[in-house]
Amino acid sequence: MAFKLDELPYAYDSLEPAISSRTLEIHHGKHHQGYIDKLNKAISDTDYADYDLPKIIQASHEAGDDKVFRNAAQAWNHAFLWQSMSPNGGGVPTGPMADLIATSFGDYSDFTDKFRSAARSQFGSGWVWLTYDSGLLQIESTGNADTPIMNGKQPLLTLDVWEHAYYLDYQNERVQYIDVFLNELLDWTSAAAKLEKNNEAA
């Protein structure tokens, strides 16, 4: 089964000025599409072609099939990234998520300090994740295509810190891009829905 690129859940220009339409068009239409095209080519006529994306990620990771793994993981990570942002995002969460932030990190600024620090210190390309495990939230970063789901974890949010995500808008100022994500884009509603789903499945 060939994978297809889903449309974004919002218009290309709807995250402006935080993220320009041009950046989003290239990021979604070229980079994300490219990972899907390369994945389809790499799994064609293999056993992977019968699997869903998380299963391809886990199986190719275990087998050391780097080409399949990298493109499958990047296809999944980007689909997850689009769900992690919203035109009305950013700021302090409310409800159960606010309570979890307090239990897991302290106050909201402790959370943003930790998130910022993980995003700043990820050397080169990679991702920063908010994951949920054993009743607590955790922040972790991964290099290149690596993703928490390769270890069976379910993340709630992600930030892409590959340069292609921000270079046109912020050049080398990754710190500005991280702050804009936290203040204007991060979709707490989506994260809360994923948390609820995880709790129902547990």
Site residues for Fe ion per CB under 5 A = 160, 162, 165
Rounded to a whole number of angstroms, the minimum distance from the CB of residue 81 to Fe ion is 7
Rounded to a whole number of angstroms, the minimum distance from the CB of residue 104 to Fe ion is 26
Q: Measured from the CB atom, is 132 or 162 closer to Fe ion?
A: 162
Provide the residue count of the chain: 202
Q: Measured from the CB atom, is 24 or 192 closer to Fe ion?
A: 24
3-state secondary structure the chain: CCCCCCCCCCCCCCCCCCCCHHHHHHHHHHHHHHHHHHHHHHHCCCHHHHCCHHHHHHHHHHHCCHHHHHHHHHHHHHHHHHHCECCCCCCCCCHHHHHHHHHHHCCHHHHHHHHHHHHHHCCCCEEEEEEEECCEEEEEEEECCCCHHHHCCCEEEEEECCHHHCHHHHCCCHHHHHHHHHHHHECHHHHHHHHHHHHHHC
Rounded to a whole number of angstroms, the minimum distance from the CB of residue 160 to Fe ion is 4
Q: Measured from the CB atom, is 145 or 192 closer to Fe ion?
A: 145
Rounded to a whole number of angstroms, the minimum distance from the CB of residue 69 to Fe ion is 16
Q: Measured from the CB atom, is 103 or 144 closer to Fe ion?
A: 144
Q: Which residue's entry shows tokens 């050397």?
A: 123
Across the strands, what pairs with 158?
129
Task: Output the residue with the shortest Cβ distance to Fe ion.
Answer: 160
Q: Measured from the CB atom, is 10 or 108 closer to Fe ion?
A: 10
